[in-house]
Amino acid sequence: MMGHAWFENNRAAFATRALEADEERSFVEHLAHCPECRLAIEQIARELSWLPMAVPAAAVRPGLQREIAARILDGGPTIVAARSSSRVRYAVLSALAASLLLTVGVVASKYRSARHEVATLTAALQNRDRDLALFQDSLALIRRASRVLDAAVTRDGRTGRLIIFADNAAQRWTVVLNGLPPAPAGQVYQFWFICADGIVKGAILRGSLASPASVTLDMPPGGGGVMGAALTLETVNARATLPRGIELAHVML
């Protein structure tokens, strides 16, 4: 049978629900005929009432807190009445630690979610800025152009566009190729001027599906005047002066 000293020593454990199930039943039965313990339990409850209780406590093994408190406060499993106030302090600190851990977990989760949202928005803004820059460049070319030439370009089932912005005042063409993948290994997209006296080699166009190829060319000094343009797929050969590959596009003024 448990003596009254046991109930005195375990008031804080009862108030913080740290007793074993059978010990808790014995304490409840004791409270029914012990006004002293009832008053002590009510005082402990008042001391603990200010703690944040909105977050459910993590489930622990019954009696674990009491055992840890005994070893920390008393240096062993023996619990004496003089340590009752220390148990109250321990219960307060335990509740505060649990609340702090839960708060840190919630903050960390929200921080990870915020970082992901910031990364997503940053990527979207970068894509918008890139599209806006391409749009502005296109508008600038159109404003300066005296004439615009456009032709469909098809390769391996994909259809792109060859667009020429002809600036007659500056005697300069800006050539844009988009919608096509990079040329196969060992080959290039070669642009040609079609002149009155023959074909004049222009420039190699290097681009991708994500980044159109663009180059600005001055009119060739020879050839008898430009009459049009062509785009071919050529084998890499720096010395070639005439098209020998597959013609992809052909436009005339």
Please list the helix, strand and coil fractions of the chain in percent, rounded to the nearest 5, in that order. 45, 25, 30
Delimiting residues of CATH 2.60.40 domain(s) in the chain: 145-252
Q: What tens-digit pLDDT sequence spans the chain (253 residues)?
A: 678 889 998 888 888 888 888 899 998 999 999 999 999 999 888 877 766 544 455 555 666 666 665 665 555 444 444 455 566 666 666 666 766 777 767 777 777 778 888 888 888 888 787 767 655 655 565 666 788 999 999 888 889 999 999 988 888 999 999 988 899 999 999 999 999 999 999 999 987 777 889 899 999 987 778 999 999 999 987 678 899 999 999 999 8
How is domain 145-252 classified at the CATH fold level?
A: Immunoglobulin-like (2.60.40)
Q: Alpha-carbon distance 216 to 28, whole Å?
A: 92
HSE (side-chain half, CA atoms, 13 Å) at 153: 27
Distances (CA, A) of 158 to 153, 154, 229, 248: 8, 5, 21, 12
